[in-house]
């Protein structure tokens, strides 16, 4: 039980990578606060955790809303008395369009959720960690944070900035024995990447299969990764085994060759 007695917040925990991390952490002994915007999905994950004998709390939180994040943190402390681990996973895909066609409101919303949300969660969770002089922050970025990503400028910019935020948090919080690292998934199989490929194919007037190969072809293993692969790395970083790792970004990508 690598996280026995710990308390974790997982944003965007109702589906995809967030769900996989929440279930993984619970299986390793952590109480998990599953945060997001879809109550049904959050309650479903919490029910899975409880059915396995774990502890779970759900909270509705748009991470771009400071009051909602403050409420999420307060609910966690009221229920469990501490915050050991924060996983900033909440994010949106944003528009699929050339820069000249991206609407300002779409740009603002993508950065608000993907970047400002991580900032707000860290800002408001850190005081509890600092008081206890211990903690882990794990930011879910993307390979799009390591190279340009045509047709996805808001998403790309937000994920680049998250890596900078990660390194800054690591520098600022290290004196309190708090680590901060980022995980950069490559293409992750599931409904989200399928929707991304579909939108991209429509915008570029290409077939779904052609665009899918744009994601799979550059990988050494010629496949997408699984959500559980990301959860496994998050678990390592959250556990005592990762206590001396901070300020780093880890690519989980099936060997995706960056351009």
* Residue pLDDT, tens place only, 71-89: 999 999 999 999 999 999 9
As a whole number of angstroms, the distance between CA 48 and CA 43 comes to: 9
* Contact between 104 and 51 (Cβ < 8 Å): no
Q: Which long-range contacts (CB under 8 A, 24 or more apart) does 196-204 make?
A: 196/93, 196/96, 199/96, 200/96, 200/151, 203/96, 203/97, 203/151, 204/151
Pick the CATH number of 7-186+226-251 from 3.30.43.10, 3.20.20.120, 3.40.50.720, 3.40.640.10: 3.40.50.720
Tell me: pLDDT of 259 over 90.
no
Q: What is the pLDDT of residue 238?
A: 98
Mean pLDDT calculated for residue range 242-247: 98
Query: What is the phi/psi pair of residue 227, to 5°?
Result: -55, -35
Longest dimension (CA), the chain: 54
The ranges assigned to domains in the chain are 7-186+226-251, 189-224
User: Known catalytic residues?
Assistant: 155
pLDDT single digits (tens) 176-227? 999 999 999 999 999 999 999 999 999 999 999 999 999 999 999 999 999 9
Mean pLDDT for 67-73 is 98
Q: pLDDT exceeding 70 applies to what percent of the chain? A: 100
User: Residue 66: its pLDDT value, please?
Assistant: 98
100-152: per-residue pLDDT in tens? 999 999 999 999 999 999 999 999 999 999 999 999 999 999 999 999 999 99
């Amino acid at each position: 039980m690598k996280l026995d007695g710990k308390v974790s917040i997982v944003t965007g925990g109702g589906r995809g990578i967030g769900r996989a991390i929440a279930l993984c952490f619970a299986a390793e002994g952590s109480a998990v606060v599953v945060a997001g915007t879809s109550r049904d999905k959050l309650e479903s994950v919490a029910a899975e955790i409880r059915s396995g004998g774990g502890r779970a709390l759900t909270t509705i939180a748009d991470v771009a809303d400071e009051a909602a994040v403050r409420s999420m943190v307060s609910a966690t402390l009221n229920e469990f008395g501490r915050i050991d681990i924060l996983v900033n996973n909440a994010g949106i895909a944003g528009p699929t369009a050339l820069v000249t066609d991206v609407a300002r409101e779409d740009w603002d919303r993508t950065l608000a959720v993907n970047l400002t949300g991580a900032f707000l969660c860290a800002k408001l969770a850190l005081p509890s960690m600092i008081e206890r002089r211990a903690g882990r922050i794990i930011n879910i970025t993307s390979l799009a944070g390591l190279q340009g990503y045509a047709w996805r400028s808001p998403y790309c910019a937000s994920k680049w900035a998250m890596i900078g935020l990660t390194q800054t948090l690591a520098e600022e919080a290290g004196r309190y024995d708090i680590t901060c690292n980022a995980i950069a998934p490559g293409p992750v199989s599931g409904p989200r990447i399928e929707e991304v490929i579909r939108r991209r194919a429509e915008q570029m007037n290409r077939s779904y299969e052609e665009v899918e190969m744009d994601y799979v072809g550059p990988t050494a293993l010629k496949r997408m990764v699984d959500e559980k692969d990301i959860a496994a790395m998050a678990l390592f970083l959250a556990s005592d085994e990762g206590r001396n790792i901070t300020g780093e970004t880890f690519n989980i990508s099936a060997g995706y060759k960056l351009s």
